């Protein structure tokens, strides 16, 4: 049957199982939008292409599916860069379809032409320019395959307008996929045997999990593994949710704002088993003092992540799931039950650290931001999808919200993108219309993509925004306080501009505000129970700081706890 | 740290932007490439790129991993000096006079060298050989009046 490019595109998307697209139209994608108009695919119209990409990213993180976006050429395409880079840094599977000027105009500085292939080469896993309609279907399939296989990532496909209009005789291709690059990495059995031997030998072992466990859907296998080996589990920011925070073996987040006891455990262990961790500088602190006593076993699907920052003793190039499945089999039913006694001393030591360095904050006249998150955690029993912006709000959420399930924590870890959380929450709400989705925001970050309130209202997406309104670009202010003698250069944004309650109302959403610690619970309850999108504006202690803190360049053990405990 | 030159050979898809992808990654990750050459193989869909990188083994392993990760790269081969033939080519223009002409040709006696053009005061030479041989030839020609030269990347088989 004869079809044009746009028709073939929409067909191929449906064959790939796409039922939801986030997008923003324009001249170069008119033909595609004309087909979408007639297709069963759900299209979520955002209000800015950055919002489009973060929403697709949030959808992908929450659902595990590949997020799909479509934008027009030129400015539409360039507006996606922050969203694409955010997804790239955190290994999120996305396919970004960009319109492009007709092929004969490419390279002529035509109206709304941008070299998006050149621009996104460093921030995509791969990208394609489709020059002929007969390459289209195959390219789209390849894009989906590349985005979701191995270490996932964003893949961009540039679609010239004439290719979308070109007609060709089209035959549905058999579902069977051609063999493609991206070899599957299966762990080497000898390496796994050595791993088991090292697990048995270790006296003070720690597991460190990262985003690779979530991206590799290995959360269930991780739980089984920990049940067998009875080792304490620490996590990077990106690994939160892969292991239940309520489990007694959970240590919480490591790194710059990690838990005292998690950092102490990692710094004193004799064996560190890392799963899907790439050793970012925010995780390791000073490299030369990172886990100084430990033998390190690193499991990662991306060979370039291995031995990149930290030299490891046993590298295992494998996805976390394959490695854990095999390890679980090798460990047998009883696992390391025999070692329970000999490990007791280590676990006791960790309990001592846990008490010594317990996460606390002092209460006062003003609302403490930590208290808002603790209350939210209690009210939701940890059962919500939580997105964050970037800054203090993000770190307090990572510390005080107890994530028990995978894919319930959406945060920009690698790029640290302010303005990520709200559109990401919208994307998650699209994937899970009946779940509670909350964006924990700062008063600065929320203004970076506030236009998406229109998207939430228009699509009946009842996302709850909790603003920890400290009147500052708080995390930057914290660094100015600690390292620049309180010279608060351009970080004071206080003065109730904008008035977030009125702003919510202007968009047709509900706005709530309190400055009273005693009202935190009732405002949260009211906001959660409301049927539509809500902004809850909590006026919090302006100069509260995030602790523990490891100063940049310091060792993980050199934590400031921000209180007078003598530690 | 044992820093020296390593030759890496890549088989890549013959597509317009493959070189851009490769050089983009090399510069983004801060790797230094001494020289590079590229041309199609017997299979017109596949290009062979040979590059020489300076570094210790760990650095070279990192480059290889980054190259392997690129979707359009089909294979990455570290060339071992013993098992491969490596050649470079240089085109050289030398200023001569009646006295020096023979010194120039003599200095190249042991090399693969052709005279492409000759006039009373200029010689245009084509020299092929291993990198070290070319280095040597150029050093001696410099002393004998080399005016200009152009040097290729390494090719291997
Ligand atoms: C797009 C972007 N611009 C700038 C920054 C640098 N930055 C990191 S945290 C921060 C302050 C965020 O302020 P706010 O949203 O109010 O959060 P708070 O730290 O006060 O909780 C800034 C400006 C960033 N991470 N992202
Ligand atoms: Mg703030």
Element (H, E) at B3: none
User: DSSP labels for B58-113?
Assistant: HHHHHHHHHHHHSTTEEEEEEEPGGG--EEEEEEEEEE--TTTHHHHHHHTTTSEE
Name the residue range of residue B118's domain. 86-156
Opening angle at CA A406, ends A404 and A412, nearest 5: 105
Mean pLDDT computed over every residue of chain B: 93
Q: Do B71 and A307 touch (CB under 8 A)?
A: no
Architecture of the domain made up of A2-169: 3-Layer(aba) Sandwich (3.40)
The predicted pLDDT at position B81 comes to: 79
The Cα–Cα gap between A422 and B95 comes to 71
The predicted pLDDT at position A342 comes to: 84
Q: Do A304 and B65 touch (CB under 8 A)?
A: yes
Positive or negative CA dihedral for A326, A332, A337, A339? negative
What CATH number is attached to the domain comprising B32? 3.30.70.260
DSSP state of A367: B
The Cα–Cα gap between B150 and A173 comes to 51
The Cα–Cα gap between B77 and B63 comes to 11
Residues B129 and B150 grouped into a single domain: yes
**Does the pLDDT at position A328 exceed 60?**
yes
The predicted pLDDT at position B32 comes to: 87
Residues B76 and B92 grouped into a single domain: no
Instruction: Determine what percent of chain A is predicted with pLDDT higher than 90.
Output: 93
Which pLDDT band holds residue A179 (cuts at 50, 70, 90)? very low
What's the token pair of residue B11? 């088989």
User: DSSP labels for A176-219?
Assistant: PPPP-SS------HHHHHHHHHHHHH-SSEEEEE-HHHHHTT-H
Domains held by chain B: number:
2
Element (H, E) at A533: none
Residues B74 and B140 grouped into a single domain: no
Q: What mean pLDDT do residues A291-306 have?
A: 96
The Cα–Cα gap between B136 and A303 comes to 39
Ligand 1 atom at minimum distance from A369 CA = 21
Residues B53 and B118 grouped into a single domain: no
Name the one residue in this structure whose structure tokens are 């120039």: B104
Element (H, E) at A117: helix A116-120
**Does the pLDDT at position A311 exceed 70?**
yes
For the ranges A278-292, A326-340, A430-444, A515-529, the lowest mean pLDDT is seen at: A326-340
Q: What mean pLDDT do residues B82-96 have?
A: 92
A373: closest CA of chain B, how far (Å): 39
Give the mutation target among A372, A444, A467 for probing the ligand 1 site: most ligand atoms within 8 A of CB: A444
Residues B108 and B69 grouped into a single domain: no
Give the mutation target among A372, A419, A473 for probing the ligand 1 site: most ligand atoms within 8 A of CB: A473
Q: Could you tell me the maximum CA-CA distance found in chain A, to the nearest angstrom?
A: 78
The predicted pLDDT at position A18 comes to: 97
Q: What mean pLDDT do residues A445-469 have?
A: 98
Residue A478: nearest ligand to its CA? Answer: 1
Across the interface, of B17, B71, B74, the residue whose CB is closest to A146 is B71
- Tens of pLDDT, residue by residue over A208-260, are 999 999 999 999 999 999 999 999 999 999 999 999 999 999 999 999 999 99
Residues B67 and B129 grouped into a single domain: no
A118 lies within 8 A of chain B by CB = yes
Is A230 catalytic? The answer is no
The Cα–Cα gap between A211 and A305 comes to 13
Task: Decide if A465 contacts A535 (C-beta within 8 A).
Answer: yes
Q: Is A369-547 in the same CATH topology as A2-169?
A: yes
Residues B8 and B25 grouped into a single domain: yes
**Does the pLDDT at position A41 exceed 80?**
yes
Instruction: Determine what percent of chain A is predicted with pLDDT higher than 70.
Output: 97
The predicted pLDDT at position A567 comes to: 43
Task: Decide if A514 contacts A539 (C-beta within 8 A).
Answer: yes
Mean pLDDT computed over every residue of chain A: 95
What's the token pair of residue B87? 């050649």
Opening angle at CA A446, ends A481 and A21, nearest 5: 140
Give the mutation target among A48, A53, A368, A445 for probing the ligand 1 site: most ligand atoms within 8 A of CB: A445
The last residue of a domain, from among B40, B58, B81: B81
- Tens of pLDDT, residue by residue over A423-433, are 999 999 999 99
Residues B115 and B55 grouped into a single domain: no
- Give the residue on B whose Cα is nearest the Cα of A147: B71
Q: List CB contacts of A218: < 8 A, sequence separation 6 or more.
A: A212, A242, A275, A276, A319, A320, A321, A324
Q: Which CATH superfamily is domain A189-356 in?
A: TPP-binding domain (3.40.50.1220)
The predicted pLDDT at position A566 comes to: 40
Residues B71 and B91 grouped into a single domain: no
What CATH number is attached to the domain comprising B113? 3.30.70.1150
First vs last C-alpha separation in chain A: 74
The predicted pLDDT at position A284 comes to: 94
- Tens of pLDDT, residue by residue over A516-555, are 999 999 999 999 999 999 999 999 999 999 999 999 999 9
| Integer angstrom CA distances of residue B96 from B119, B138, B148 | 9, 15, 13
First vs last C-alpha separation in chain B: 28
Q: Which CATH superfamily is domain A369-547 in?
A: Thiamin diphosphate (ThDP)-binding fold, Pyr/PP domains (3.40.50.970)
Residues B72 and B106 grouped into a single domain: no
| Integer angstrom CA distances of residue A247 from A110, A242, A438 | 58, 12, 24
Instruction: ipTM value, please give it.
Output: 0.88
The last residue of a domain, from among B36, B58, B81: B81
Q: Do A303 and B68 touch (CB under 8 A)?
A: yes
**What's the A343 CA to ligand 2 centre distance in angstroms?**
43
A107 lies within 8 A of chain B by CB = no
The predicted pLDDT at position B111 comes to: 86
**Does the pLDDT at position A183 exceed 70?**
no
**Does the pLDDT at position A489 exceed 50?**
yes
Ligand 1 atom at minimum distance from A416 CA = 25
Residue A370: nearest ligand to its CA? Answer: 1
Residues B74 and B114 grouped into a single domain: no
The predicted pLDDT at position A180 comes to: 55
Q: Is A319 in the pocket of ligand 1 (CB under 6 A)?
A: no
Which pLDDT band holds residue A334 (cuts at 50, 70, 90)? confident
Domain boundaries, chain A: 2-169, 189-356, 369-547
Q: What mean pLDDT do residues A442-463 have?
A: 98
Task: Decide if A48 contacts A450 (C-beta within 8 A).
Answer: no
Across the interface, of A122, A303, A307, the residue whose CB is closest to B24 is A122
Residues of B in contact with A121 (CB under 8 A): 17, 20-21, 24
Which pLDDT band holds residue A565 (cuts at 50, 70, 90)? very low
Q: Do A304 and B69 touch (CB under 8 A)?
A: yes
A135: closest CA of chain B, how far (Å): 14
For the ranges A90-104, A436-450, B21-35, the lowest mean pLDDT is seen at: B21-35
Residues B71 and B21 grouped into a single domain: yes
């Amino acid at each position: 049957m004869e079809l044009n490019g746009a028709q073939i595109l929409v067909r191929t998307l449906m064959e790939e199982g796409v039922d939801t697209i986030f997008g923003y139209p324009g001249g170069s994608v008119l033909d595609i939008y004309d087909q979408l108009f007639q297709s069963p695919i759900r299209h979520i119209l955002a209000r800015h292409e950055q919002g489009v990409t973060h929403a697709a990213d949030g959808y992908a993180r929450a659902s595990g599916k590949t997020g799909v976006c479509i934008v027009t050429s030129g400015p539409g395409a360039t507006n996606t860069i922050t969203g694409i880079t955010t997804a790239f840094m955190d290994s999120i599977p996305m396919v970004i379809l960009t319109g492009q000027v007709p092929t004969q105009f490419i390279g002529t500085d035509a109206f709304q032409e941008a070299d998006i292939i050149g621009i996104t080469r460093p921030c995509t896993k791969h990208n394609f320019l489709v020059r002929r309609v007969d390459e289209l279907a195959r390219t789209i399939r390849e894009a989906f395959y590349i985005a979701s296989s191995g270490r996932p990532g964003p893949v961009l496909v540039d679609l010239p307008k004439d290719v979308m209009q070109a007609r060709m005789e089209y035959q549905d291709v058999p579902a069977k996929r051609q063999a493609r690059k991206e070899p599957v990495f299966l762990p080497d059995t000898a390496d796994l045997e050595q791993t088991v031997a090292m697990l048995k030998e270790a006296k003070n072992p720690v597991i460190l999990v990262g985003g690779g466990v979530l991206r590799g859907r290995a959360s269930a296998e991780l739980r089984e593994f920990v049940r067998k080996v009875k080792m304490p589990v620490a996590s990077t920011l990106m690994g939160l949710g892969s292991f239940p925070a309520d489990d007694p073996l959970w240590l919480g987040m490591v790194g710059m704002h990690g838990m005292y006891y998690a950092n102490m455990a990692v710094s004193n262990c004799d064996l560190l088993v890392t799963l899907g961790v790439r050793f970012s500088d925010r995780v390791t602190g000073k490299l030369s003092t990172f886990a100084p006593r430990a033998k390190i076993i690193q499991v990662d699907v991306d060979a370039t992540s291995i031995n990149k920052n930290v030299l490891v003793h046993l590298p295992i190039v494998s996805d976390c799931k394959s490695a854990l499945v095999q390890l679980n089999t090798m460990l047998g039913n009883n696992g390391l039950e025999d070692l329970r006694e000999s490990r007791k001393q280590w676990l006791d030591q960790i309990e001592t650290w846990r008490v010594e360095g317990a996460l606390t904050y002092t209460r006062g006249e003003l609302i403490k931001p930590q208290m808002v998150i603790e209350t939210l955690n209690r009210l939701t029993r940890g059962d919500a999808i939580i997105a964050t912006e970037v800054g203090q709000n993000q770190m307090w959420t990572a510390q005080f919200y107890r994530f028990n399930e995978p894919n319930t924590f959406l945060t920009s870890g690698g790029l640290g993108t302010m303005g990520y959380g709200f559109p990401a929450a919208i994307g998650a709400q699209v994937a899970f219309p009946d779940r509670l989705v909350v964006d924990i925001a700062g008063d600065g970050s929320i203004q970076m993509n506030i236009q998406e309130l229109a998207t939430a209202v228009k699509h009946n997406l009842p996302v709850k925004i909790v603003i920890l309104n400290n009147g500052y670009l708080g995390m930057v202010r914290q660094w100015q306080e600690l390292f620049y003698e309180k010279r608060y250069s351009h970080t004071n944004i206080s003065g109730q501009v904008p008035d977030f309650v009125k702003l919510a109302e202007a968009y047709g959403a509900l706005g709530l505000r309190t400055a009273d610690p005693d009202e935190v619970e009732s405002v949260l309850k009211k906001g959660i129970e409301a049927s539509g999108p809500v902004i809850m504006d909590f006026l919090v202690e302006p100069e509260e700081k995030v602790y523990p803190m490891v100063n940049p360049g310091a060792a993980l053990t050199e934590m400031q706890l921000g209180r007078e405990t003598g530690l | 740290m044992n820093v020296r030159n390593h030759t890496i050979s890549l088989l890549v898809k013959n597509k317009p932007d493959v070189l851009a992808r490769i050089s983009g990654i090399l510069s983004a990750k801060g790797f230094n490439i001494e020289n590079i050459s590229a041309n199609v193989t017997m299979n017109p869909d596949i290009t062979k790129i040979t590059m020489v990188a300076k570094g210790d083994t760990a650095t070279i392993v990192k480059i290889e991993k980054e190259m392997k990760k690129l979707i359009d790269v089909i294979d990455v081969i570290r060339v071992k000096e013993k098992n491969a033939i490596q050649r470079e080519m240089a085109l050289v223009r030398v200023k001569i006079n009646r006295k020096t002409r023979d010194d120039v040709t003599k200095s190249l006696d042991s090399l693969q060298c052709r005279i492409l053009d000759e006039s009373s005061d200029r010689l245009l030479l084509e020299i092929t050989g291993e990198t070290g041989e070319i280095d040597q030839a150029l050093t001696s020609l410099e002393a004998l009046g080399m005016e200009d030269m152009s040097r290729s990347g390494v090719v291997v088989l």
